[in-house]
């Protein structure tokens, strides 16, 4: 794997052949609530390599983007205004996440470390060392005192924010860990891996409480808890998103139509207007589904490479998206619904 292998969240080395993006929008379906009407508002240029992650701050004011160029950039969420560049990692960054109070950022890098940053100043407060391969994914717990990380070393680690010490190493998977996420009270962690499993962990004890396995063991490229904490949204490299009731171990909904066979593409719950599922795609578009009916309600065109990451604003109908190295931009889209 090349130096920038991890941060472009790539599984295979082969370069994707460029696809022609389809026209945006979807036909209205009788009896289905009106879809969103996201339109491009801002294109944010500045990163010099692939965008690996975009995240809105919980207070809604800022957007953080991370990149294979080893930097994090902070932008105004509402006006797209560039605020600052945060530097310090020695290799590309695969993920960035905010603390619940919007004051801290954590980043996961191919240099095998995580770093905790003060968002307002860009000052590095702590470097978290222990992973033995690329660190691929990271998140704060809602209380802001713990960080969870996943790595190509196949482990999940839990870190103390104040001290920067590793509290637990979970021998989580038998392949690289593609995503880690706390539930809304922080009591549970979910992890996903190229080994085809999603696992749910007890944060306090580090015990595995449940393993979700689908029939065919397709690599799981992303997972996160739903806002209410009852469901999991999981992406697999067969161009499928699934909504799971994890307590029953049952798949409730399947979302298809996107192209996703190579990269670890983020997906989201959009709950500020209608209830949508949002994901990037390898055909250079952002896909939006009606959560209940599973219909594609909108496709956003404009990016010129794989859309790796998307994020939904916590208060407004705003989506951010970021794309790979033939594009290198972050885009901000807004909708009435």
Q: pLDDT tens digits, the chain, 337 residues: what are they?
A: 333 344 445 533 333 333 323 333 444 455 555 899 999 999 999 999 999 999 999 999 999 999 999 999 999 999 999 999 999 999 999 999 999 999 999 999 999 999 999 999 999 999 999 999 999 999 999 999 999 999 999 999 999 999 999 999 999 999 999 999 999 999 999 999 999 999 999 999 999 999 999 888 899 999 999 999 999 999 999 999 999 999 999 999 999 999 999 999 999 999 999 999 999 999 999 999 999 999 999 999 999 999 999 999 999 999 999 999 999 999 999 999 9
Query: DSSP label at 291?
Result: T
How far apart CA 79 and CA 105 sit, in angstroms, is 21
Q: What angle do CA 226, 197, 247 make, to 5 degrees?
A: 45
DSSP structure string for 74-96: EEETTT--EEEEE---SS-EEEE
Residue the block writes with tokens 């026209």: 23
Q: Show the tokens assigned to 117.
A: 């940053």
Residue-level pLDDT at 11: 39
- 205, with CB counted inside 10 A (0-12, 13-18, 19+), is exposed
Pair of tokens at residue 295: 């219909």
Dmax over CA atoms of the chain, in Å, equals 56
The predicted pLDDT at position 37 comes to 98
What whole-number distance in Å separates Cα of residue 159 and Cα of residue 107?
13
| Four-CA torsion 299, 303, 306, 308, nearest 10 degrees | -80
pLDDT of residue 33: 57
pLDDT reported for residue 31: 53
Place of tokens 């449940």: 210
Residue found under tokens 């924010």: 161
On whether the CB atoms of residues 106 and 114 are closer than 8 A, the answer is yes
CA–CA dist 150, 128 (Å, integer): 12
Closest CA to 67 of 43, 41, 40, 85: 85
């Amino acid at each position: 794997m090349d130096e920038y292998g991890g941060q472009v969240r790539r599984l295979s080395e082969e370069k994707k052949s460029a696809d022609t993006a389809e026209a945006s929008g979807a036909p209205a379906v009788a009896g289905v609530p009106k879809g969103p009407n996201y339109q491009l508002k801002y294109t944010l240029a500045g990163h010099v390599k692939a965008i690996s992650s975009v995240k809105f701050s919980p207070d809604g004011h800022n957007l953080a983007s991370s990149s294979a160029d080893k930097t994090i950039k902070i932008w105004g969420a509402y006006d797209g205004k560039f605020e600052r560049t945060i530097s310090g990692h020695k290799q590309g960054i695969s993920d960035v996440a905010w603390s619940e109070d919007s004051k801290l950022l954590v980043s996961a890098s191919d240099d095998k470390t995580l770093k905790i940053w003060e968002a307002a100043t860009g000052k590095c407060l702590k470097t978290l060392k222990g992973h033995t391969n690329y660190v691929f994914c990271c998140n704060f717990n809602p209380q802001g005192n713990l960080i969870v990380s996943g790595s190509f070393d196949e482990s999940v680690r839990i870190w103390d924010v104040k001290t920067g010490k590793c509290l637990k190493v979970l021998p989580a998977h038998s392949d690289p860990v593609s995503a880690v996420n706390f539930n809304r009270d922080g009591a549970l962690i979910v992890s996903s891996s190229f080994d085809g499993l999603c696992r749910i962990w007890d944060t306090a004890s580090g015990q595995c409480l449940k393993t979700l396995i689908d029939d065919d063991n397709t690599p799981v490229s992303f997972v996160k808890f739903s806002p209410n904490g009852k469901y999991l949204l999981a992406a697999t490299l067969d161009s499928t998103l699934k909504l799971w009731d994890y307590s029953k171990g049952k798949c409730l909904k399947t979302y298809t139509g996107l192209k996703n066979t190579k990269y670890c593409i983020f997906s989201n719950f959009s709950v500020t207007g209608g209830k949508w599922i949002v994901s990037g795609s390898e055909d250079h578009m952002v896909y939006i589904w009606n959560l209940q009916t599973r219909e594609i309600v909108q496709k956003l065109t404009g990016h010129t490479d794989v859309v790796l990451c998307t994020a939904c604003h916590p208060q407004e109908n705003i989506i951010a998206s970021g794309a790979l190295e033939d594009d290198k931009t972050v885009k901000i889209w807004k909708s009435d619904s």
